[in-house]
Structure formats: structure tokens, C-alpha cells
Amino acid sequence: MMSAMPLIQVRDVPEHLYRLLTQQAERERRSLAQQVLAVLARGLEVELDAKARRHELMQAIRASHHRGVGKLSDPVKSIRQDRLR
């Protein structure tokens, strides 16, 4: 079961900030909520880019593969063994 993401509600947003956020969201093809998260991450100097996270994950997977962690058996060999049973 996945846990719910924390929720932040911001009230009394100045009109000019709201307008800027909505314009940026349209330009970036994001929802307003996605744009607010992107702006927060950028302001906090935190990487929020999904592509960068996927790249880091793939590097970790490749590194574990090189160490022999989670090495899979040959599927052809497994199928042949099953057929002989």
C-alpha cells in the first residue's frame, strides 16, 4: 500500500505570482501544481527532473548488474528444463 504524498495548501497568493505561475505552467506544458513543485525544487536547489531520476536509477541498476547482484538464469535453458519434466 502506497502512502499518501504530503499536501501543502497556500493561501492569499498575490495575483501577479499566480499569473506568472500559470503562464510558466502553460509554456512548460505542466499543470499549475506541477509548476509550483518545479519552482519550489529550483528555489531549494533540489533536482525534481524525472529524466534525471530515471538516469540515476538506471546507473544504479547497471552498477548492481556488474557486481552480479540479481543475476538471472538463461530463459532458454529454463524453458527446456520445464519441457523435459
DSSP annotation of 83: H
Contact 71, 61 (CB under 8 A): no
3-state secondary structure 10-47: CCCCCHHHHHHHHHHHHHHCCCHHHHHHHHHHHHCCCC
Res. 84: pLDDT tops 90: no
Report if pTM > 0.85.
no
CB count, 10 Å around CB of 35? 20
pLDDT at 41: 85
